């Protein structure tokens, strides 16, 4: 309650933000996280001991409830589930056989019919995809689901010693406020370090701030932490060694891991994988570098033909993601329980194949990680899909497809995209926009959204 009142105050009086943040941080984090967080956190801990049969029984129970709610409130799913007795669903196989997969385009085109007729009466949080395929989506989650999400992440981080009520982390992801290279969030036990232009003097400042705030975990994009490690290695500076490095939002490449391990030899490394639609949550096993899905979080399948991940969000009854076909792929899976940790978390994702994007380069701000390139692409309506082509260090060609129905907004959106990328890449960067009919795609429908001919220069 205290936190909600303070948050509302911040909206009306932004100048009190620092004071409010300190007031919130004076409340023990165990209390601030709230009962909903700890309920889910304890539940995920309990489920680690479950057998495959117990997990399946739980998933079927969640499906029955979810599919019934969607069939009652969603015009799209009412038709989708025709011929399936959702109240008496008995097997996952029956669910897969009778419910077709849902593509990203299909979700876009049927958004109004997919959305629950009761959505205005629900407590909601607006969300969206990052647009890493060049095509972002907007949708809603139940407001209370935020704590389930955070509990699932912290549950996985526990494998390398992270304690949600005590640990302090430095984020090398997201954006800091304009003019700040380090931003402090005392209410979250966290600081955020800018990953735009990781100059050596900035890295030295990060080291000082990490020591000052007692940071013991680093959390960020593999691409950003690789660039950080590369500067530390080149300069030979003494940078604080964290207990663990928590990688997220991108595929982890071997050459990135090699550099990070060399610079932080005393630190454990952990990677987790999820998505904005919350149709999958997976994290590395503490004994091997492969992803174990969290089956109480969502129902995960892998298409044997295209290798695409198909996920079902078991809790979103507002705009359901049921057998949602992601563009990300898995190159190798294993359907047996892990022989090292013994968890019944299957399928095991041994080798991810999606999100193999590249970097953009800016003469002013250096290498820009792919995950942060998506920031100016959120909430697009007139622009359908986007692709970046960089052959020169100071120029980027932005190819795009447009939605004919919203063409009147097109010019404004292109201007907004350009303004956003000038902020990321600097005012000296040149942009050329080029409208195309479509992009060349792989068998899963995914296209390369960043094509850089400068990529080899960074390794």
> Cis peptide before 347, with omega less than 30 degrees from 0?
yes
CB 246 within 8 A of CB 157: yes
Q: For every one of its 459 residues, what pLDDT tens digit does the chain have, with 9 covering 90 and above?
A: 444 555 555 545 555 555 655 565 667 777 889 999 999 999 999 999 999 999 999 999 999 999 999 999 999 999 999 988 999 999 999 999 999 999 988 999 999 999 999 999 899 999 987 655 556 688 999 999 999 999 999 999 999 999 999 999 999 987 888 889 999 998 889 999 988 777 899 999 999 999 999 999 999 988 889 889 988 998 999 999 999 999 998 788 887 899 999 999 999 999 999 999 999 999 999 999 999 999 999 999 999 888 899 999 999 999 999 999 987 888 899 999 999 999 999 999 998 875 444 678 888 888 787 767 877 887 777 888 889 999 999 999 999 988 887 778 899 999 999 999 998 898 999 999 999 988 886 554 557 788 888 855 554
Question: How far is the C-alpha of 371 from the C-alpha of 354, rounded, in Å?
Answer: 13
- Domain segments of the chain: what residues? 360-458
Selection from 390, 389, 393 nearest residue 426 by Cα: 393
Question: How far is the C-alpha of 330 from the C-alpha of 62, rounded, in Å?
Answer: 25
Helices 222-235 and 200-212, packing angle to 10 deg: 100
Question: How far is the C-alpha of 415 from the C-alpha of 433, rounded, in Å?
Answer: 10
Question: How far is the C-alpha of 210 from the C-alpha of 219, rounded, in Å?
Answer: 12
**Neighbour-count burial for 84-99, b at 16+ CB within 10 Å, e otherwise:** bebeebeeeeebeeeb
Question: How far is the C-alpha of 222 from the C-alpha of 256, rounded, in Å?
Answer: 7
Question: How far is the C-alpha of 200 from the C-alpha of 410, rounded, in Å?
Answer: 40
Which pLDDT score, from 0 to 100, does residue 171 have? 95
Helices 145-157 and 29-47, packing angle to 10 deg: 70
Which pLDDT score, from 0 to 100, does residue 66 have? 97
Which pLDDT score, from 0 to 100, does residue 164 have? 95
Which pLDDT score, from 0 to 100, does residue 83 have? 85
Question: E strands, 108-166, where?
Answer: 124-128, 138-142
For the chain, report the end-to-end CA distance as a whole number of angstroms: 49
This prediction has a pTM of 0.79
Which pLDDT score, from 0 to 100, does residue 440 have? 81
Which pLDDT score, from 0 to 100, does residue 11 have? 47
Q: Class assignment of domain 360-458?
A: alpha beta
């Amino acid at each position: 309650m205290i936190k909600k009142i303070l948050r509302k105050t911040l909206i009306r009086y932004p100048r009190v933000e620092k004071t409010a943040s300190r007031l919130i941080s004076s409340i023990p984090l165990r209390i601030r996280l709230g009962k909903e967080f700890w309920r889910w956190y304890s539940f995920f801990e309990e489920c680690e001991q479950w057998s495959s049969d117990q997990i399946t029984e739980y998933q079927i129970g969640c499906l029955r409830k979810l599919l019934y709610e969607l069939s009652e409130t969603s015009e799209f799913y009412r038709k989708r589930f025709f011929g399936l007795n959702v109240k008496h669903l008995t097997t996952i196989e029956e669910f897969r056989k009778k419910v077709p997969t849902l593509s990203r385009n299909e979700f876009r085109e049927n958004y109004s019919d997919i959305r629950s007729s009761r959505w205005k009466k629900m407590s909601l949080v607006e969300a969206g995809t990052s647009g890493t395929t060049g095509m972002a989506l907007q949708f809603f989650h139940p407001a209370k689901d935020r704590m389930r999400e955070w509990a699932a992440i912290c549950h996985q981080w526990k494998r390398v010693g992270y304690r949600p009520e005590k640990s302090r982390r430095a984020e090398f992801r997201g954006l800091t406020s304009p003019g700040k290279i380090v931003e402090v969030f005392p209410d979250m036990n966290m600081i955020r370090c800018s990953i735009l232009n990781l100059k050596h003097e900035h890295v030295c400042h990060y080291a000082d701030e990490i020591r000052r705030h007692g940071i013991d975990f680093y959390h960020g994009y593999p691409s950003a932490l690789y660039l950080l490690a590369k500067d530390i290695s080149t300069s030979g500076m003494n940078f604080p060694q964290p207990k663990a490095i928590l990688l997220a939002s991108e595929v982890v490449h071997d050459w990135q891991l090699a550099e990070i391990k060399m610079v932080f030899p005393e630190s454990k490394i952990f990677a987790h994988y999820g998505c904005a639609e919350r149709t999958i949550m997976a994290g590395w096993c503490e004994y091997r570098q492969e992803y174990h899905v969290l089956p109480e979080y969502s129902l995960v399948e892998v298409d044997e033909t295209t290798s695409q991940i198909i996920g079902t969000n078991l809790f979103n009854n507002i705009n359901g993601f049921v057998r949602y076909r992601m563009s990300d792929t898995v190159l190798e899976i294993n359907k047996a329980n892990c022989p090292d940790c013994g968890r019944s978390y299957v399928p095991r994702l041994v080798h991810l194949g999606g999100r193999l994007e590249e970097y953009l380069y800016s003469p002013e701000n250096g290498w820009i990680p792919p995950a942060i390139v998506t920031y100016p692409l959120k909430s697009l309506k007139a622009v359908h899909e986007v692709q970046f082509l960089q052959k020169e260090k100071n120029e980027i060609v932005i190819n795009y497809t447009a939605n004919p129905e919203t063409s009147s907004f097109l010019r404004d959106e292109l201007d907004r995209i350009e303004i956003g990328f000038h902020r990321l890449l600097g005012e000296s960067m040149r942009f050329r926009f080029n409208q195309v009919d479509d992009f060349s795609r792989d068998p899963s429908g995914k296209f390369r959204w960043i094509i850089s001919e400068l990529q080899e220069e960074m390794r």
